[in-house]
């Protein structure tokens, strides 16, 4: 899928219909924008209800602190 959008004079971009349909995005959906080099990632913010249970079965004893990563 390759789509194109243009930034308007009031700094708005309309997400092409084929992209909205492919991801089932509805009006009111929130996104975060992350700068990556010369581009930007547009990432949908998950709803709180969608996150329920994603950590089920994880072991708390296996938790790693950030200090052991470097």
pLDDT at site 57? 78
pLDDT at site 56? 82
Question: For the whole model, what pTM was predicted?
Answer: 0.63
Do the domain assignments include residue 34? yes
pLDDT at 52 over 70: yes
Is 4 within 8 Å of 18 (Cβ atoms)?
A: no
Do the domain assignments include residue 65? no
Do the domain assignments include residue 60? no
Do the domain assignments include residue 7? yes
Mean pLDDT, range 34-49, rounded to an integer: 92
pLDDT at site 20? 94
Do the domain assignments include residue 64? no
pLDDT at site 10? 97
CA atoms of 29 and 45, how far apart (whole Å): 8
What is the total count of domains within the chain?
1
The domain containing residue 33 runs over which residues? 1-46
Do the domain assignments include residue 22? yes
Q: Enter the DSSP assignment of 35.
A: E
Do the domain assignments include residue 70? no
What CATH number is attached to the domain comprising 31?
Answer: 2.10.260
């Amino acid at each position: 899928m390759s789509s194109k959008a243009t930034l308007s004079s009031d700094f708005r971009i309309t997400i092409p219909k084929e992209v909205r349909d492919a991801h089932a995005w509805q009006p009111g959906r929130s996104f975060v924008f992350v700068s990556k080099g010369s581009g930007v990632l547009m990432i949908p913010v998950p709803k709180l209800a969608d996150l329920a249970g994603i950590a089920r079965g994880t072991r708390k004893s296996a938790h790693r602190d950030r200090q052991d990563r470097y």
